Structures are given as structure tokens and as C-alpha cells.
Structure 1
Amino acid sequence: MKYRHLFFDLDHTLWDFEANAKECFQELYIDKQLQGRGVDDFDAFFSAYSVHNERLWGEYTKGLILQSELRWRRMWLALMDFGVEDESLSKAMSVEFLERLPYKKNLFPHTIEILEYLKNKDYALHLITNGFQEIQDQKLQSAELQGYFQEVITSEAAQSLKPNRAIFDYALKQSKAHPDESIMIGDNQEADIQGATNAGIDTVFVNHLQVVPEVQSTYMVHHLQELEGIF
């Protein structure tokens, strides 16, 4: 085998963040009676949140905002789009969202099957994630994924965020792996693909959204089952 250590991203690659987040928002939308506050279109509200969340995560990974600011401002900005200027509501929703989210279980199709397949072929499986330690640990437990990974590398433990080289170097050290025998599997072209490439690690771009690639990867798949053709 050319590769021995397979490093996976979690959110948006294996764990379906959008589906899980939407479930949480549907619950909060009802519990907080947002329709009566002027948020009259749930789908538009969730879409607004998704746009703000993606932009703020980009700022967070660049070190422009703090984790605490990211967590509540994405809610606040989404509510502001509907004329709801309520900072306390935004912060309460942020806390409850993060309490509920890790207990959701939606995975992308064939996640369990491909992890079983790779484990049975004696690959060493690991995670590299920019998520928060406690939350990511609970996601793995809720989705029954924790038994598949030897090392779970979070940005919190590494004191570095993808795409910075430091988190990949930390992951290699923790897993006792060499770049030549390692490969990164993820959905984010900048954080996962460009970041791993800069660290001398081959890559698989998991193109769930069928986008036109802007970053060169070693391999590209459109669904997880296609990984069987590589490994």
C-alpha cells in the first residue's frame, strides 16, 4: 500500500453538518417562537445563517475574530436580516444550538460502509478537524464513529487551524506518520486540500457539492463510496 495513514476531515465530509444544523434550527425556530418575532420564512432564515456562518468561519480561520464572537454573531446577523435586533436572543440561541448540535446523527451516504472497508484493509484512520474539542468528541459518540479513528486531532489540541501547516505537522507527529505514507480526505479546498498539500501530504477532494475545483488535489471523488477505487 502506498498509503498507511488516512486523515479525514469530519464536518461536511463524513458528518453532514448542514442536515444536522438545519434540524437544530427547526427546533430553535419553534422553541423561540421566531415566526411571531418577524422571522416568517424558516428556509430563508437558515439560508441567511449559513451565509454568515461560512463568512465568519473564514474570518476565524484567519485569526480575525475570536471563537466566542463567531458563535453568537452568526445568529445575530441572521436575525438582523429579518429586523430582529436582540443580542440576548442571539446569545441564548447560540448556546442552545451548540448544546443540541453534537447529538445529531446525520452522516453522508456510505460513511459507515467506507470506514468499515478501510478499517478492514488495515489502514490507520485519523481525524483532523477545526471543530471545538468537546463538541467534536460528542459528535463522534452520537454518530457512533469514535471507534474508527486512532487519533482525533482538533485545532484546539494542535493550537493551530487548517490550512496552517502546524496542525498537519502536529497530526503527523501524534499519529507517528510520515507525509509520504499519508493522505488527507476532505471537502474544503483551502483548509483540507491546499493545507495538506502545503504540508507535503497527498489529498482526496470529496466534492459532495459537485463544484468546479479551484485547487489541485491528488484525487477527487463525488461520494464517499468512490474511495474504494483509490484504496
Structure 2
Amino acid sequence: MIKAVFFDIDDTLYDTSGFAKLARKAALQAMIDAGLPLSQQEAYLLLREIIKEKGSNYDKHFNILTKRVMGDENPLLIAVGMITYHNVKFALLRLFPDTMSTLIYLKKKDYQMGVISNGLTIKQWEKLIRLGLYHFFDEVVTSQEAGSEKPDSEIFQLALERMGCKAEESVMVGNKFSEDILGATEVGMSAILVNSELTENEKEIIEIEGLKVDVISDIGQVNTIL
């Protein structure tokens, strides 16, 4: 019997991919308008390269960008980029349509709820607060705290310990098969894949290993399983 439900954040509770690209392009255009000597296409390709190198949770992408282009960090352009990025990001921050109703449903059913997320702790809390969701969760566990990222078992074990629940009584809801689903099932949790389609190889893995995985197209369908 499931007693605890853990969620990923990005592209599970809200649409991350859609707004991130828009926010980055707006930030780069503002930097160009303020003196960055690149076209927007050149700047965007360079930023993507830096993000790939450092990871999306690194907080000094614009610092590196200005240093590579201009030979040294440019505080003005960095500030312009950061402020524009955050202003646009927060203006576009939106839950998936059924996220709130799903969390309310689970709360009414007395499920324990938690978050397991790769990223910096402050950033993950900031997202939950701005989305108006932080009060739903009993525990928020990040890779920064665990010292390991999904799908490593350590982050899932830490979340289970802090929630005080057993793996077999817990389910992980996430959009990434390799990180959320395989990581959770490896420690004995069941899992729900949302906003993502399984590849033939992933279907084969589930069948061969007998994994407990449900696949849904919308987070609002969680209540059909729990």
C-alpha cells in the first residue's frame, strides 16, 4: 500500500523546458543591447555550450560567457543578463493545468508528499515557493544535500529516511526514465512516468526487470493510480 508520494520538479510539476529557452534568449538580447559584441545566434550557441559544460544548475553561466567573449568578466552585462533572465522566467512560471488539483487530492487522501530533485537546495525551494507549492511537501531532498544525483540510490535513500517510510510504500513521480524511474525502482520504490513517452528499449527494460512503472500523459492522471 502506497503511503508516500515523491515528485520531481522540473517538467513534472511545471513546464521548465518551454520558458527556459525564452528567458535565456531574452537575457542575451538585453546583454547585446547593453554592449555584448555578438549576434543573438552566436550568443545563444555559446551559452548552450557553457550550460552543457557546467550543467543547468550552475549559477555563473553569464560570467563565463562575458569572460570568453571579452577577455574578462563584465559586471554590468552579467547583471543585465541575470535580472532579465529571472524577470522573464518568473513571468512565465506556470504550473501544468492539473498540478494543483492533483496535490490537493493527494493531501486530502493523507499521503505523505516529498520532492526528490537534482539541483541546488535554495533554487529548488525558490521554485516551490514561487509556484505556491512548498506547503504541500513534508520533505524536499536535493542532490546538493545528498551529495549524489538521481539516479544514484543515495538520494532516494536519504529521501526515504527523512520521510520515515519504506521503499515499498513509496512511489516516485517524474518525467525522466533514466533518472526518476530507474533510480526509484532500483531502491524498491514503484514509479509513475509523466509527460514523457517510453522508448522501445525502456519498455524492454521494464518487462525484463519486472519494474513497477505506470505511464501517464498528464499529472492529473495520478489520481487514477493512487
TM-score between both structures, scaled by the size of structure 2? 0.77
102-111 vs 163-172, which moves further: 102-111
Q: For the residues of structure 2 that align with 1:209 and 1:37, how far apart are their CA atoms?
A: 39
Kept in 2: contact 1:158–1:170 (CA 8 A): yes
Output the CA distance in 2 between the equivalents of 1:39 and 1:191.
35
Q: Does structure 1 retain, via aligned residues, the 8 Å contact 2:47–2:61?
A: no
- Superposed CA offset, 1:105-159 (max 9, x none): 2222211111111111111110000121111111111110101101001111122
- Cα distance change of structure 1 residues 87 and 93 upon mapping to structure 2, 3 Å threshold: farther
Secondary structure, counterpart of 2:140 in structure 1: strand
AA of the residue aligned to 1:221: I
- The higher radius of gyration belongs to 2
Kindly indicate whether the alpha-carbon contact (under 8 Å) linking 1:185 and 1:203 is maintained by their aligned counterparts in 2.
yes
Q: 1:197 to 1:211 in 2, by over 3 A?
A: closer
Match of 2:218 in 1: 223
Note the aligned Cα RMSD (angstroms).
Answer: 3.6
Aligned to 1:96: 82
User: Residues 54, 201 of structure 1: CA spacing in aligned structure 2 closer, same or farther, 3 A cutoff?
Assistant: farther
Distance 1:148 1:119 in 2: 7
TM-score of the superposed pair, with normalisation by structure 1: 0.75
In 2 relative to 1, CA 99–204 (structure 1 residues): closer, same or farther, beyond 3 Å? same
Query: Whole-Å Cα distance in 1 between the matches of residues 11 and 155 of structure 2?
Result: 19
- Offset, 1:56: 5.6
Partners of 2:198 and 2:46 in 1: CA distance: 21
Match of 1:108 in 2: 96
Q: How many residues align?
A: 214
Larger CA deviation: 25-34 vs 136-145: 25-34
> Is 1:21 aligned with 2:29?
no
Unaligned runs of 5+ in 2: none
Of 106, 118, 123, the residue aligned with 1:130 is: 118
DSSP 3-state at the match of 1:24: helix
Identity %: 26
In structure 2, relative to structure 1, the CA distance for the partners of 1:116 and 1:186 (3 Å cut) is: same
**Pair 106,4 (structure 1): closer, same or farther in 2 beyond 3 Å:** same
Verify: 1:12 aligned to 2:7, yes or no. no
- For the residues of structure 1 that align with 2:63 and 2:176, how far apart are their CA atoms? 23
Q: 1:40 to 1:75 in 2, by over 3 A?
A: same
Residue aligning to 2:39: 39
Q: Cα distance, 1:164 vs. partner?
A: 0.6
Rounded to whole Å, the distance in 1 between the matches of 2:170 and 2:218 is 20
Q: What does residue range 1-231 of structure 1 map to in structure 2 within 5 Å?
A: 2-33=1-32, 37-41=37-41, 45=44, 53=51, 57=55, 70-72=58-60, 88=73, 92=78, 96=82, 100=86, 103=90, 105-206=93-194, 208-210=195-197, 212=199, 214-215=201-202, 216=206, 218-231=213-226
1:33–1:95 distance in 2 versus 1, CA, 3 Å: closer
Instruction: Decide whether aligned partners of structure 1 residues 168 and 24 sit closer, same or farther in structure 2, where only a CA change above 3 A counts.
Output: same
Letter in 2 for 1:92: I
